[in-house]
Amino acid sequence: MYGITGFVGGGGRRTLQRMTRVLPHRGFEQSSFHLDGDLGLGVCRPAIMDLPEGSQPFFSEDGRVVAVFNGEISNHRELREGLLQRGHRLNETSDGEVLVHLYEEEPESFLNRLDGIFSLAIWDAGRARLLLARDRLGVKPLHYWVGSGSLVFGSQIRALLEHPSIPRQLDRQALDQYLTFESIPAPRTILAGIHKLPPAHWLSWDDSGVRLGRYWDLELRPMRGLDLRDWEELLLAALRGAVRRHLGANLPVGTFLSGGLDSSTLTALMVQEAAEPIRTFTMGFPEASFDESGPARRLARLLGTRHHEGVLSGRSCLELVQDLPEVLDEPLGDASIVPTWSLARMARREVNVVLSGEGSDELLAGYPTYPAAHLAEWLRRLPHPWLDQIRKWAARLPVSTKNWSLDFRIKRFLGFLDEPAERRHILWAGSFSEGEKASLYGPGMAGPWQTFEPLEAFLRPGLDLTSRLGMIDLNLYLPNDLLVKLDRASMAASLEARVPFLDREVVELLARVPTDLKLQGWTTKFLLKRATRHLLPAEVRRRPKKGFGMPVACWLKGPLRPWLEDLLSPRELRRDDLFEPSEVRRLWDEHMTGRADHRKSLWTLAMFLQWRRVWLPT
């Protein structure tokens, strides 16, 4: 894996060097540059030993096409063979070298031939054209800024900020969306003018201007005519093939093992496919309701892996959380970034590469919000007096700080019952509602704001409810939250993370699976649970989904309290007139006294304030 950056339209060698050299926090140790007039490309090589990746940038035979690349092309061997047969000369064994030659053949459509996870930049000197592109599901990040006659890009925002043309200015519309989504949906970032290139998109820059296009879109087309056993065999075969491809490199490989269905499936398949014992890694917590280390340990023993465990305490969390702005150059309200980063650091002591289970929940209806959405649609038909009585009963439930406690789930479920299904789905998982933000905002956030604007692009009214929500998660939650978390945490630890559930063959297969084989009543991921019944013990397949949460509600009252109190000071809150200190004090008082559970709101707000302190200092 690499970090890439560059510009066209001017910048100079020193600027390019600065842009490239701020990327080493991602685990990189070697950098190289290419300058051609007002075009600059920079790349950092990872601190992962013995990678057979060749050197970057890559050049065509005549030197007129040059590319930098981050990620892996999983079908590069087949592509390489075809290129050699057609007369191309390839000098390296790197997967990225095929890019310049494919571009020479099909500059407008070569992206359709790539499988894998990637972000890339290609300079075509003959056309004076710069092309940027990002993989289909958005596993690898890419950001850009367009100025008058210029374009600047990079794997992370920090690289762009080294360019003298780019100002640091808060995007308040992005802040409003962040406070609800807990992440910032593409194409916005937290800084005005800097954009994320959306997944499955390309961007080209030349004398005629900037063009943006999509080269792939996932269509849900359920295929009938196959029985359950056929689908089970197809799914296992696709997953086995994906795991085999990700084990192909000559590197020590492990897996993040939570004891849940997704990571357990990958681990079991890895054990069957790997020539040597697999290393597994689990992060536990002192608080029992959050800790899944026991089930993970039992499965590791059953499968015969070399198992490693860590425990994240509140004190350890405090040490990590204060360094998060160096890992995340825009705020992320997903608290599981902390245990994920801790887990990645532990894994890196033993392996260079891990497999992780992201993508399964979105593609197989794995979140508990999917069956809850169907229940909500039924409850909405009840007479309003009945619903009022249910809400009064729920309000009297005692507040608990445990993981997915009954009161937490019921209160969030009922709180957004009257919203349209798609908005309700976002609000159940998010932090601040529209009403809560109205009380929170100061004069500097007067609005109006288009909070749910990102949602509009992914509404699919012709689909059933489960599929509609799955497409929202696949296009919003997965690339803007989960994959950001995985990429930043792993690369900050010099660890390469791969995601077999997002292999193109697996994704396109699951797009054809009928919805009733994904969700049956309250049984989520029905097909995967059936397909793994001979692979995994019943304990794993029946365990309810927990997620990788940590005891935020409890720790905010304990070891994290001084850190939080410092961030939520009236002086910090009044800066730029963004927030009302009195409203934040109310949230603080209710949480600290146990009258309410505001873990999500307080954490999300704190992550922004800490980010601002580092990246937008006064």
Per-residue model confidence (pLDDT) at position 150? 94
β-pairing, 65-73 with 58-59? antiparallel
Residue pair 359/499 in contact by the 8 Å Cβ criterion:
yes
**In this structure, how many other beta carbons lie within 10 angstroms of the beta carbon of residue 514?**
15
Q: What residues contact residue 342 under an 8 Å CB cut-off, 6+ apart?
A: 283, 310, 312, 316, 320
What pLDDT shows up at residue 24? 62
Q: How high is the pLDDT of residue 480?
A: 98
Which CATH number describes the domain made up of 228-359+478-542? Answer: 3.40.50.620
Bridge partners, 265 (sequence order): none
What is the model's pLDDT at position 515? Answer: 97
Question: Which residues, given as ranges, of the chain have pLDDT below 50?
Answer: 26-27, 49-53
Cα separation, 142 vs 128, in Å, equals: 21
Which H or E run contains 153? strand 150-154
User: CATH top-level class for 3-214?
Assistant: alpha beta
Amino acid in the structure at residue 100:
V
Bridge partners for 167 per DSSP: none
Query: What is the crossing angle of helices 599-615 and 581-592, to 10°?
Result: 130
pTM of the model: 0.94
H-state helical runs in 94-220? 98-105, 157-160, 172-181
Q: What are phi and psi of 369, to 5 degrees?
A: -70, -20
What six digits make up the tokens of 161?
């900020």
- What pLDDT does 50 receive? 44
- Exposure string of 45-65, with b = 16+ CB inside 10 Å and e = fewer, is bbbbeebebeebbbebeeeeb
Q: Which of 213, 214, 212, 70 is nearest to 151 (CA)?
A: 212
Taking the mean position of all CA atoms in its chain, how far away is CA 577?
31
- Reported as a single tens digit per residue, the pLDDT across 496-526 is 999 999 999 999 999 999 999 999 999 999 9
Strand order in the sheet with 496-498: 306-311, 279-284, 253-256, 353-355, 496-498
Q: Report helix, strand and coil shares of the chain as percent, to nearest 5.
A: 45, 15, 40
Cα–Cα distances (Å) from 215 to 100, 145, 218, 536, 540, in that order, read 18, 21, 11, 37, 38
What does DSSP assign to residue 288? G
pLDDT per residue as tens digits for the range 35-81? 999 999 999 876 554 444 458 899 999 999 999 999 999 998 899 98
Q: b vs e for 400-430, b when ≥16 Cβ sit within 10 Å of the residue's Cβ?
A: bbebebebbebbbbbbbbebeebbbbbbbbb
pLDDT of residue 46: 63
Residue 222 phi, psi (nearest 5): -55, 135
Going by C-alpha positions, the residue among 341, 352, 343, 279 that lies closest to residue 311 is 343
Distance CA 46, CA 497 (A): 13
| Beta-sheet strands, E only, within 541-614 | none
**Domain map of the chain by residue range?**
3-214, 228-359+478-542
